[in-house]
């Protein structure tokens, strides 16, 4: 009896895992065009931001293989959409955004900790965080 129930739970789970793959949400991995590049103060600031921020805050998102698998694809898509809408280094709005970026790097709110686990370049040392924050401040004229 319990073996049968377990079997159906496993079969049901596998079927659900397959079925959700056809939901189209989160499939769009297209890169919007660069409208206005951020006013980088130096190649180094850009390099650090590239490693720690670009996946969610630019049109140069590198979509990993698991970004094609639901439900992870939905979570990643949501992060990138929200990230780009708040701050986009490829669609720069105004220099005060660099101040917000500096503050979030300094306070370690960004990059998000779950992202850091899988992305070594985003695991900024204290020195790298300070360097990146200082670069952002220069971009804001400070």
Rounded distance, CA 123 to CA 111, Å?
8
Smallest gap from residue 94 Cβ to ligand HEC (A): 11
Q: Provide, rounded to whole angstroms, the least separation between the CB of residue 51 and ligand HEC.
A: 8
- Confirm or reject binding of residue 87 to ligand HEC (CB under 6 A): yes
Pairwise CA distance, residues 69 & 86, whole Å: 25
Q: Which of 38, 40, 45, 55 is close enough to bind ligand HEC by CB under 6 A?
A: 55
**CA-to-CA distance for 96 and 98, rounded, in angstroms?**
5
Nearest residue to 31 (alpha-carbon basis) of 84, 92, 86: 84
Per-residue binding letters, 95-114, with ligand HEC (x by CB under 6 A): -----xx--xx----xxx--
The CA distance from 14 to 11, in Å, is 5
- 70 or 87, CB closer to ligand HEC? 87
Given the rule CB under 6 A, which residues bind ligand HEC? Answer: 49, 52-53, 55-57, 79, 82-83, 86-87, 100-101, 104-105, 110-112, 115, 122
């Amino acid at each position: 009896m319990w073996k049968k129930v377990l079997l159906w739970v496993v079969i049901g789970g596998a079927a659900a895992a397959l079925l959700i793959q056809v939901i189209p949400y989160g499939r769009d991995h297209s890169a919007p065009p660069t409208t206005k590049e951020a006013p980088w103060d130096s190649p180094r600031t850009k390099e650090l931001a590239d490693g720690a921020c670009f996946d969610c805050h630019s049109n140069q998102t590198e979509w990993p293989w698991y970004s094609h698998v639901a439900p992870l694809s939905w979570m990643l898509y949501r992060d990138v959409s929200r990230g780009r809408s708040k701050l986009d280094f490829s669609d720069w709005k105004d220099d005060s955004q660099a101040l917000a970026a500096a503050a979030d790097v300094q306070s370690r709110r960004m990059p998000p900790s779950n992202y850091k686990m899988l992305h070594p370049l985003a695991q900024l040392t204290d020195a790298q965080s300070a360097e990146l924050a200082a670069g952002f401040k220069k971009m804001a004229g400070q």
